[in-house]
Amino acid sequence: MVRRILGLTTGRIAVAILTVIALLAVLGPLFAPQDPLATSDHPLAGTSGSHWLGTDYLGRDVLSRLLDGSRVSVLGSLEVAVTALVVGAVPGILSVYLGRAFEWVTLRLVDTLVALPFLLFAVAVIALLGNGLTQAMLVTGVLVSPLFYRVSRAATLSVARSQYVEAAIISGASIGWIVRRHVWAKVLPPIAVAFAQTVGVGFVIVSSLTFLGIGVQPPEPTWGGLLASDLGYLGQKPWAPVAPALLIMATVWAGNLLADAIRDVSGEAGRALIDARRARPDRLDKTDPAPAGGTR
Amino acid sequence: MSGRLLPRRRPAPGPRSFTRRAGRLRTAALGTVLAVVLVPVLAACGGDASSANGNSTLKWASTYFPTHWDPVVGGSGAQFRELALVYASLTRIDENGEAVPDLAESWEYNDKGDEITFHLREGLTFSDGEPVNAKAVKAAVERAQDQEDSALHGDLTSIESVEAKGLDAVVHLTQTDYQIPQLLGERVLQIASPKAAGDPEKLDQNPVGAGPFIVTQLVPGTKAVLKKNPDYWDADNIHIDNVELTSAPDTSTIVSGLQTGVYNFADVDPSQAESAKKAGLDVFTQPGFNASNISLNVNKAPFDNEKVVDAVRYAINRQEFVDKLTFGYGEVTDQPFPRDYVAYDPESEDKYPYAPDKSKKLLAEAGYGDGDIKLDLVISAEDPQAEIVQSQLAKVGITVNIKIDKNWSTPFFAKDLTFSLYSTTGRDSAVQTLTAHFGPDGPLNLSSPYEPDGFEDAVAKVRQTPLDDPDYAETLQAATRAGLESDALIFTYSSPNLFAKSKSISDLPKNPAHINWTGVTISGNG
The full DSSP string for A146-186 is HHHHHHHHHHHHHHHTSHHHHHHHHTT--HHHHIIIIIHHH
- The alpha carbon of residue B332 is apart from the nearest alpha carbon of chain A, in Å, by 17
Closest partner CB to A232 (pick from B271, B401, B402): B271
Chain A contact for B254 (CB, 8 A cutoff): no
Mean pLDDT of A176-196: 85
In this predicted structure, the answer to whether residue A120 has a pLDDT above a threshold of 90 is no
Task: Provide the pLDDT for residue A275.
Answer: 59
pTM: 0.80
In this predicted structure, the answer to whether residue B27 has a pLDDT above a threshold of 90 is no
Whether the upstream peptide bond of residue B449 has omega within 30° of 0, thus cis, is: yes
From chain A, the residues in CB contact with B271 under 8 A are 57, 232-233, 235-236
Chain A contact for B395 (CB, 8 A cutoff): no
Task: Provide the pLDDT for residue B250.
Answer: 79
Nearest CA in chain B to A212: B382
From chain B, the residues in CB contact with A213 under 8 A are 381-382, 404
- The alpha carbon of residue B413 is apart from the nearest alpha carbon of chain A, in Å, by 20
Partner-chain contact B404 A213, CB within 8 Å:
yes
Chain A contact for B319 (CB, 8 A cutoff): no
**Closest listed residue to residue B444, CA positions, set B299, B339, B296:** B296
From chain B, the residues in CB contact with A231 under 8 A are 250, 252
In this predicted structure, the answer to whether residue B112 has a pLDDT above a threshold of 90 is yes
In this predicted structure, the answer to whether residue A284 has a pLDDT above a threshold of 50 is no
Task: Provide the pLDDT for residue A165.
Answer: 85
Mean pLDDT of B229-235: 97
Residues contacting B340, CB < 8 A, separation 6+: none
Residues contacting A33, CB < 8 A, separation 6+: A52, A61, A63, A64
**Percent of all residues in chain B with a pLDDT value above 70, rounded to a whole number:** 89
Asked if B120 and B151 touch (Cβ cutoff 8 Å), the reply is no
- The alpha carbon of residue A114 is apart from the nearest alpha carbon of chain B, in Å, by 28
In this predicted structure, the answer to whether residue A292 has a pLDDT above a threshold of 60 is no
From chain A, the residues in CB contact with B382 under 8 A are 213, 218
A249 or B16: which carries more pLDDT confidence?
A: A249
Chain A contact for B402 (CB, 8 A cutoff): yes
Partner-chain contact B275 A43, CB within 8 Å:
no
Tens-digit pLDDT profile for residues A82-107: 999 999 999 998 998 888 999 999 99
Chain A contact for B111 (CB, 8 A cutoff): no
Binding-face residues of A in 185-214 toward B, CB within 8 A: 213
Please tell me the distance from the alpha carbon of residue A214 to that of residue A229, in angstroms, as a whole number. 13
Tens-digit pLDDT profile for residues A50-77: 999 999 999 999 999 999 999 988 888 8
In the DSSP assignment, the letter for residue B464 is: T
In this structure, of A266-280, B213-227, B410-424, the range with the lowest mean pLDDT score is: A266-280
Chain A contact for B393 (CB, 8 A cutoff): no
Phi, psi torsion values for B318, nearest 5 degrees? -65, -35
Closest partner CB to B386 (pick from A41, A218, A233): A218
Task: Provide the pLDDT for residue B526.
Answer: 40
Task: Provide the pLDDT for residue B54.
Answer: 64
pLDDT band per the 50, 70, 90 thresholds, residue A16: very high
Task: Provide the pLDDT for residue B40.
Answer: 43
Mean pLDDT of A244-266: 90
Rg of chain A over Cα atoms, rounded to whole angstroms, equals 23
pLDDT band per the 50, 70, 90 thresholds, residue B262: very high
The domains of chain A are located at 2-267
Partner-chain contact B382 A213, CB within 8 Å:
yes
Closest partner CB to B271 (pick from A38, A213, A233): A233
* β-bridge partners, B295: B420, B489
Closest partner CB to A58 (pick from B381, B384, B401): B384
Chain B contact for A58 (CB, 8 A cutoff): yes
Nearest CA in chain B to A213: B382
Mean pLDDT of B269-290: 92
Residue type, position B90, single letter: L
From chain B, the residues in CB contact with A43 under 8 A are 323-324
Task: Provide the pLDDT for residue B53.
Answer: 56
**Percent of all residues in chain A with a pLDDT value above 90, rounded to a whole number:** 39
Mean pLDDT of A180-192: 84
Q: What is the CATH number of domain A2-267?
A: 1.10.3720.10
From chain A, the residues in CB contact with B403 under 8 A are 131, 217
From chain B, the residues in CB contact with A58 under 8 A are 324, 384, 387-388, 391
pLDDT band per the 50, 70, 90 thresholds, residue A269: low
CA dihedral of residues B431, B435, B436, B440 (deg, nearest 10): -170
- The alpha carbon of residue B402 is apart from the nearest alpha carbon of chain A, in Å, by 6
From chain B, the residues in CB contact with A41 under 8 A are 323
In this predicted structure, the answer to whether residue A293 has a pLDDT above a threshold of 60 is no
Asked if B247 and B60 touch (Cβ cutoff 8 Å), the reply is no
Chain A contact for B339 (CB, 8 A cutoff): no
Tens-digit pLDDT profile for residues B125-180: 999 999 999 999 999 999 999 999 888 888 898 999 999 999 999 999 999 999 99
From chain A, the residues in CB contact with B406 under 8 A are 127, 131
In this predicted structure, the answer to whether residue B330 has a pLDDT above a threshold of 70 is yes
In this predicted structure, the answer to whether residue B33 has a pLDDT above a threshold of 80 is no
Chain B contact for A242 (CB, 8 A cutoff): no
Closest partner CB to B406 (pick from A127, A217, A231): A127
Please tell me the distance from the alpha carbon of residue A56 to that of residue B146, in angstroms, as a whole number. 49
Task: Provide the pLDDT for residue A258.
Answer: 92
- The alpha carbon of residue A21 is apart from the nearest alpha carbon of chain B, in Å, by 28
Q: What ipTM is given for this predicted complex?
A: 0.73
Tens-digit pLDDT profile for residues B353-385: 999 999 999 999 999 999 999 999 999 888 999
From chain A, the residues in CB contact with B275 under 8 A are 234-235
In this structure, of A122-126, A146-150, A278-282, B310-314, the range with the lowest mean pLDDT score is: A278-282
pLDDT band per the 50, 70, 90 thresholds, residue A267: low
Please tell me the distance from the alpha carbon of residue B224 to that of residue B216, in angstroms, as a whole number. 8
Partner-chain contact A217 B401, CB within 8 Å:
yes
Mean pLDDT of B194-202: 96
| Residue among A39, A44, A129 with most chain B CBs within 10 A, to mutate | A39
Tens-digit pLDDT profile for residues B464-514: 999 999 999 999 999 999 999 999 999 999 999 999 999 999 999 998 888
Closest partner CB to A235 (pick from B271, B390, B406): B271
Chain B contact for A59 (CB, 8 A cutoff): yes
In this predicted structure, the answer to whether residue A274 has a pLDDT above a threshold of 60 is no
pLDDT band per the 50, 70, 90 thresholds, residue A272: low
pLDDT band per the 50, 70, 90 thresholds, residue B14: very low
Asked if B509 and B45 touch (Cβ cutoff 8 Å), the reply is no
Partner-chain contact A234 B250, CB within 8 Å:
no
Task: Provide the pLDDT for residue A5.
Answer: 87
pLDDT band per the 50, 70, 90 thresholds, residue B41: very low
Please tell me the distance from the alpha carbon of residue B353 to that of residue B490, in angstroms, as a whole number. 12
CA angle in degrees (0–180, nearest 5) for B3-B6-B10: 110
Burial B407-432 (b: 16+ CB within 10 A, else e): ebeeebeebebbbbbbebbbbbbbbb
**Percent of all residues in chain A with a pLDDT value above 70, rounded to a whole number:** 90
From chain B, the residues in CB contact with A128 under 8 A are none
